[in-house]
Amino acid sequence: MSPTLPRTVRAVDTRQLIALAQEAARHGFSQRLPVDWLQAHLAAEATHYLFPTLVQRLTHRPEVPLQWRCQQLLTVSTGEQILGLLDVLPDTFGKIPETLETASKKDIVNRIEHAVTVREWMERMADGQSEEIAL
Phi, psi of 26 (to 5 degrees): -60, -35
Strands 67-75 and 47-56: antiparallel
What is the average per-residue pLDDT within 120-132? 75
Query: How far, in Å, CA of 130 to CA of 74, rounded?
Result: 24
Confidence of residue 129 (pLDDT cuts 50, 70, 90): low
pLDDT in tens, 50-108: 999 999 877 777 777 889 999 999 999 999 999 999 999 999 999 999 999 999 999 99
Encode pLDDT of 11-25 as tens digits.
999 999 999 999 999
Q: What is the pLDDT of residues 49-63, one digit of tens each?
A: 999 999 987 777 777
> Model pTM?
0.89
